[in-house]
Structure 1
Amino acid sequence: MTPRQRRVLQALLYEAIAVAMVGPAVAWMFATSLQSSALLALAMSSIALAWNYVFNALFERWEARQTVKGRSLGRRLLHGIGFEGGLVLFLVPLMAWWLDISLLEALIADLAILAFFFVYAIVFTWAFDRVFGLPESAKA
């Protein structure tokens, strides 16, 4: 599979699973309708999908220049922190507007979601690599 195909497949699988988990969780956390939370989850997913593709392309470009190859726990943690940290910049304003709350409240709410997704991103990427193999950028 080409690097581009790999990134697209990874992003689509990641987001499909995420939407299935986030929609009901947002409805429960914010006492909102499942319809509203599903639309918010889809909007967040669309943003995350685009960010996932861009971030992974940038990360793999950086990774290819590293002398130590492979994906250690440290590199996986760096990947998770970079991805989720960038996502905060996009999602907090969206959540504040959608839920009609302050940016601070949205940040606090997003931190709970991000805590879950931080672990999810690391576990998902590890599982994806196990099933589909490491990308060329991580091979020796």
Structure 2
Amino acid sequence: MRTTKDRIRQAFSFEAIGLLLSTPMAAFAFGFDLGQTSVLAVIGATIATAWNYIYNLAFDHSLKRITGTTRKALKIRFLHAIGFEFGLMLVFLPIIAWWMEIGLLEALIVDIAFVVFYLIYAFVFTWCYDTLFPDNDQPAGIPE
């Protein structure tokens, strides 16, 4: 199992890199003001950081209880990424609509774009993170 310090490092590095990648792409793709999009991204990152910690802790405890290890095979990595993004999407949708002053349907399209980006990003980031910083249940240098 990962330590609290490691979980915090993982959550903050995930969000920092994600912000640097997603904010300018979203502003450009949707024609939004970069400043307004940046604030939205920081709001989303703050929510996502808290969710990241809570979700990963609960996921790892559940995985350890069910399988006896926190090692994640490819199928589990997909389930992990989808579950994380779906939960975050439910919370973030009304905030997007309110902050960007757009309707729920347009906000849903923006939210889906963020979800698609972050699904791919979460999968790649977590795999890389687990390779660079393996937990006690995962042998170093052997991502699954």
Q: How much has 1:105 moved relative to structure 2?
A: 1.7
Instruction: Indicate if the aligned counterparts of 1:3 and 1:135 stay in contact, CA closer than 8 A.
Output: no
Q: Which amino acid aligns with 1:10?
A: Q
Q: Deviation per CA, 1:65-122, whole angstroms, max 9, x where unpaired?
A: 1236421001101100110010101111111111111222211221112111101101
Q: CA deviation at 1:33?
A: 2.1
Aligned Cα RMSD in Å? 1.8
Aligned to 1:122: 123
**Paired residue for 1:74?**
75
User: Structure 1 residue 133 and structure 2 residue 124: aligned?
Assistant: no
Question: Structure 2 length normalisation: TM-score?
Answer: 0.88
Give 1:46 shift: 0.5
Within 1, Cα distance between the matches of 2:43 and 2:110? 16
**Percent of matched pairs sharing the same residue:** 41
- Contact 1:12–1:49 under 8 Å retained in 2: yes
Aligned residues: 138
Q: Any unmatched runs of 5+ in structure 2?
A: 140-144
Mapping of 1:1-140 within 5 angstroms?
3-67=3-67, 69=69, 70-134=71-135, 136=137
Aligned partner of residue 101 in structure 1, secondary structure: coil
Structure 1 contact 51–87 (Cα < 8 Å) conserved: yes
